[in-house]
Amino acid sequence: MPRLLIATTNPGKLREYAAIFADLPLDLCTLADLGIQDDVEETGATFAENARIKAEYYAQRSGLPTLADDSGLEVAALGGEPGVRSARYAGPEATDAERNAFLLRKLEHVPFHARLARFVCVIALALPGGPIEFVEGVLPGVIEFEPKGHYGFGYDPIFYVLDEDATLAELPPERKNQISHRANAARAARDVLRRWLDEGWPGP
């Protein structure tokens, strides 16, 4: 079965991709599966630049077609922060709960109608030494006043989705996988992967 490297160490992301690509005849492998422990520095100023850096590096390192993404939260009242710094916003060693608390403190006096935000995910699909294709997904929402729900990870407990009347962390994983920014980007990526399969998979 053709192999696709999912260049992440985040088990939550991997589960989401595995669910969304379940209908494709692909063997999804991870950096850990290949024994790759290199950590590439994300120096890009945009989600697309960071996704490219990771996809190019790990495609070359593994010799496999590689999917890498960069995603994060953009809050309008904070000028688009935390953006590409979403995972490091409260410090490099902060937990998900600490990042959420840090963001909520920054919005402490901001009313609900002014707490507009969006999740963005850019996926880069790279071939070793070859071209890169990009797809993007977006999910609009509002930042809650306190964490709610026990599903998901990251900022999910404080990201309220108006159409669902719930935070992402209150939605069962199967529902989140239908509407999330990563799901939207992954569905677009699935179309690219299906084309690669139809054209003859460009790798082992």
Tokens of 6: 């999912």
Distance CA 74, CA 22 (A): 29
Read off the amino acid at residue 191.
Answer: D
Distance CA 57, CA 68 (A): 10
User: What is the longest distance spanned by two Cα atoms in the chain?
Assistant: 55
The answer to the question of whether 46 is labelled as a binding residue is: no
The answer to the question of whether 13 is labelled as a binding residue is: yes
The answer to the question of whether 66 is labelled as a binding residue is: no
The answer to the question of whether 191 is labelled as a binding residue is: no
CB 5 within 8 A of CB 59: yes
The answer to the question of whether 181 is labelled as a binding residue is: yes
Phi, psi of 71 (to 5 degrees): -145, 165
The answer to the question of whether 12 is labelled as a binding residue is: yes
The answer to the question of whether 27 is labelled as a binding residue is: no
Q: State which H helix or E strand residue 159 sits in.
A: strand 159-161
The answer to the question of whether 71 is labelled as a binding residue is: yes
Whether 198 is catalytic is: no
The answer to the question of whether 70 is labelled as a binding residue is: yes
Cα 75 to Cα 143, 171, 198, distances in angstroms? 8, 21, 40
Catalytic hit among 23, 39, 70, 165 = 70
33 SS3 class: coil
Active site residues: 70
Residue ranges of the binding site for substrate = 8-13, 71, 153-156, 176, 181-182
Residue ranges of the binding site = 8-13, 41, 70-71, 153-156, 176, 181-182
Residue ranges of the binding site for Mg(2+) = 41, 70
